[in-house]
Chains A and B, each alone.
Chain A
Amino acid sequence: MTPELGNFSAEERAAQEERLRKVWETPKGLRYWTSVNNSEIGLWYGVTAFAFMLFAGLLGLLMRLQLAVPNNDLISADLFNQAFTLHGTVMMFLFAVPIFEAIAIFLLPSMLGARELPFPRLSAFGFWSFLIGGIFVCGSIFFNAAPNAGWFMYPPLATDKEYSGIGADIWLLGLSFIEVASIAAAVEIIVGIMKCRAPGMRINLMPMFAWYLLIVAGMILFAFPPLIAGDILFEMERMFDWPFFDAKRGGDPLLWQHLFWIFGHPEVYIIFLPAIALMAMIVPTFSQRPIVGYSWIVLAAVGTGFLSFGLWVHHMFATGLPQISLAFFSAASEAVAIPTGVQIFVFIATMLAGRVIFSVPMLFGAGGVIIFVVGGLTGVMVALVPFDWQAHDTYFVVAHLHYVLIGGMLFPVVAGIYYYFPFVRGKKLSDAWGKVAFWLMFSGFNIAFFPMHFSGLRGMPRRVFTYPEGIGWDWFNLVSTIGAFIFASGVAIVVTDILRPKPKPTARNLNPWNSGTLEWTNDPDESWGMRSVPVITSRYPLWDQPNLQRDIEAGRFYLPDAKSGKRETLVTSVLDADPIQCLRVGGVSYVTIIAALALGGVFIALTFHWWITTIVCAIITFVAIVVWLWTGTAPIPEEPEIDVGLGLKLPIYVSGPASVGWWAMFITMVGDGTAFASLIFGYFFYWTIHADFTAAAQGPGILWPMIALALFVVAWALTVLARELNEKGPVGARLALVAGFVVTVAASLAGLAGPYFHAMDPTANVYPATVWILAIWTVTHGAVGAIMHLYCLARSFAGRMTAEYDQDIRNVTLYWHFMAVTAVTTFGVIGLFPMVIE
């Protein structure tokens, strides 16, 4: 039921292209940096992440030089500590996760056949946050102030201010800031994949890359928030002496380990799956056939995504937890090998079934898989508790994790760079140099890291800055250092090849590898993405749909024009990708940069305890975000429907679950709810480890928490009422919003009254600290909810929110559903639980 394609004369086409070019134009000069187009943001993101990787790589080489010979004094112990902490931190937080966000932002719209992801300004905001946070964290080492307690920041070492100085604060605040960027990317990616696919791209036709990214973005929502919760507790301890991890006052360092690894283990798969997703695009191209076992890949991606959340305690096997608990995690750690194995076999099967062309991307891909399999096998070993007790914190683990991450992530990413370089620049990188680089990197990697298995088994602990001679570690370390430099020389060749000036390609060849997926129809010289949004009927449209490229470029499909002068893309249904809306996305803007800079200012000022600067920056952030929302979201269109081509008219404005904004709110609040659940986990964690978890201290009582609970429920009901009344007219809705605002303020005050009137001192013991943190969390959310009431009120008075155009109040109501659950849980727990257990 493909609709009749459009037919335009050459003049009409030229006029269309003129208008499209103007709408999607990238600004020139300094204003270039205000661009929000996915191809710019994706590129900046990727280049920045890659630069951070090179920096962290240099730190790695510095460490290898120090360890090359015994009793070396090239660098001091403290600098070594800073180097390994920053090396791990940067590689994980500033390279591995952001690079995939970069690739996703860059590739997804083209792959899915969208003009743009639904929230381009959010992507831009994420990028600027990442850049600022990253420079802040990396720069610290030049002031001898880098974090030095290891990339997982275990207390009590990292909470000891004398030892860790300001470094730990830089880590906590700098990375919290970047975690915000990751969650922003997750929102963008999930909504983009679910709602912005080309018409006809049903979920059984989605590119593999999109399947993986959908799962990964979902994982981010459940993995990053526990770390944010942990960061909050940690920073409260460092800044205000609240004893969450101080055993003397009832705290427990193990809670940090739980929260960190609930993030940290899924993180490994958050890194690994997108890299494998690149492989899933590369392998079919170079086998020149569709992937074998599409459904099995979906099984592998979803299965890994879930199981990876049941592994976190395998980082804590040596902490003295009951062995029955350890055994559960050991079992799950072995189970995750099943889906991981499935995806490897799918690749092998695809290669066997097709005719493999061993070009550079394929070399890096295959080499990466080989390395990863070795890392996977040692992973099966360390997932066994008794073996782990032997290998824990030795170089064996260092070898294991580098095999997993470099094989499972770095090599596929380099493969992806070689594969997608023509997509970015219209020209391939050098084949010959690529092969040299591959063999240097592959051999160098193995020479560097394979001996670490043995130095580890011989007892060499990780993170020592030097070692005595003659205890069997000398040669292994020297070989490792030599290998590291061979590996680095390979990386240097890749970098040189990317950076060297290249002549403009003479012939236009958009699809040099003869790939089958949609992104290869895009012209890198144009910033509109798809010239027209095609109807998709195959997993490999370029292989199976004749004349696709020609018809797209001739503007014969949807949205071939930009008559409205606005940036437009299609929104389609989740399962079958039927067109349902013409979405207008944000264009060039300063407000995202200002918001990111100001938020960066908040985090940086907090690090140095500059309270006034913090408050000023916070106010600027707040104003910038309100301006952004006010001017950029839910504008009332000049007409309700628009002709998108092929005889189809679609609405411009939709609200509720049909809108992308509603989904963005929903997804954000799921992440927020996970952070809250982590704090609740903390409350019960302290209950389990103490005979009397209140330490005989006073609680918040029952009265105030119950009043707060009731008032929050009333405020929620008023918000829902406002939504209902708004459909009839503005007056009732406005009254309900005002009432909602007043009740929310009262509820928040009542929420704080419990711990306040019972004189709970949060520095005295972990129990009052936990009660306070839960109350503050909820009240802060209440404040946001109250601001939302005022925002809707203002929108209503400004005529920007009406009975028909009610996106604002619908999204705010959704927020309040989550708010109500948070309030009921918090005040139910802190008010009633102490009584229940008595």
Chain B
Amino acid sequence: MKSFIPREVETLWTLFTAPTVWALHFVVCYAAVAIFCAKGLAEEITFGTLRFALGVFTLLALAMIVLSAYLAWRQWGFGSGDPPHDAATREDRKYFQGFATLLLSGLSFVAVVYAAIPLIFIAECQR
């Protein structure tokens, strides 16, 4: 059986995975709510439904970030070495990338949770 976990790739772009997930989550939440409130969709779907949908989406985003964190952890050699990773070797460059990506995944996780808090506490558009 093929593993669903992607193979290790060497590119600069993986560094940005988790923050990109944050950005997508943020834009979707903002756009969904903006359209819901501006177009007065409350008669067709309730705010509760919207909240639920965005809640599910939030969990998906968090799962993506956790996956990105796992991949970063793997790239970091599962924490086998300590920073600063400043040796002039391919190995240390990889560990550095892994560690920095892991840190960014952590920040993105927190930022997604932050963005989801309003969905818990605010129950209508409130203009």
Pick from A323, A331, A576: contact of B127, CB under 8 Å? A323
Q: A306 near B86 (CB under 8 angstroms)?
A: no
Residue interface bits A328-360, CB-to-B below 8 A is 1, else 0 = 101110110011000000000000000000000
* Among A534-542, A659-667, A727-735, A818-826, the stretch in contact with B: A534-542
Stretch at the interface among A200-208, A425-433, A461-469: A200-208
Whether A646 sits at the interface, judged by CB under 8 Å, is no
Residue in A202, A296, A320 with the greatest tally of chain B CB atoms within 10 Å: A202
- B78-116: CB near A (< 8 Å → 1, else 0) gives 000001111010101101110110011001101100110
- Scoring A293, A324, A328, A574 by chain B CB atoms within 10 A of each residue's CB, the highest score goes to A324
Residues in chain B near residue A203, CB distance under 8 A? 12, 93, 96-97
Q: Is the CB of A302 within 8 A of B15?
A: yes
CA distance in complex: A339, B114 (Å): 14
Chain A residues in 8 Å Cβ range of B10: 575
Q: Are B86 and A294 in contact (CB under 8 A)?
A: yes
Tally of A-B Cβ pairs under 8 angstroms: 141
**Provided the pairs A310-B26, A322-B33, A327-B118 are in contact, do residues A303 and B84 lie with their beta carbons within 8 angstroms?**
no
With A203-B96, A306-B16 given, name 16 new contacts (CB 8 A).
Answer: A204-B92, A298-B15, A299-B100, A302-B15, A302-B100, A306-B108, A310-B26, A323-B125, A324-B37, A324-B125, A324-B126, A325-B30, A325-B37, A575-B97, A576-B93, A688-B34
Contact of A338 among B29, B83, B88, B110 (CB under 8 A): B110
Partner of B26, one of A302, A332, A536, A575: A332
Contact with B along A300-316 (1 / 0, CB 8 A): 00110111011000000
A144 located at the interface, meaning its Cβ lies under 8 Å from any Cβ of chain B in the complex: no
Are A290 and B84 touching (Cβ within 8 A)?
Answer: yes
Residues of A whose CB lies within 8 Å of any CB of B are 194, 200, 202-205, 290, 293-296, 298-299, 302-303, 305-307, 309-310, 320-325, 327-328, 330-332, 334-335, 338-339, 536-539, 574-576, 688-689
Q: Is B117 an interface residue (CB 8 A)?
A: yes
The answer on a CB contact under 8 Å between A204 and B86 is: yes
Of A293, A298, A339, the most chain B CB neighbours within 10 A belong to A298
Most interface-central of A204, A294, A689 (chain B CB within 10 A)? A204
CA gap between A293 and B100 in the complex, in Å: 10
A688 to B85, CA, bound (A): 50
Contacts of A539 in B (CB 8 A): 86
Check B33–A328 contact: CB distance below 8 A: yes
> Known contacts being A290-B86, A323-B127, A328-B33, is A295 close to B96, with CB within 8 Å?
yes
Q: Which of B33, B39, B104, B119 interacts with A303 by CB under 8 Å?
A: B104
Q: Can you list 28 A-B pairs, Cβ within 8 angstroms, ordered by A?
A: A194-B12, A203-B93, A203-B96, A204-B85, A204-B97, A293-B84, A294-B86, A294-B96, A295-B84, A296-B103, A298-B100, A299-B103, A302-B100, A303-B107, A303-B111, A310-B23, A322-B33, A322-B126, A323-B127, A328-B115, A332-B26, A335-B110, A338-B107, A538-B88, A539-B86, A575-B11, A575-B97, A688-B39
Structural contact, A205 and B86, CB atoms closer than 8 A:
yes
Least CB distance, A688 to chain B, in whole angstroms: 4
Interface string of B55-95 (1 = CB under 8 A from A): 00000000000000000000000000001111010101101
In the assembled complex, the Cα of A322 lies from the Cα of B84 at a distance in Å of 45
Query: Residues of A contacting B86 with CB < 8 Å?
Result: 204-205, 290, 294, 538-539
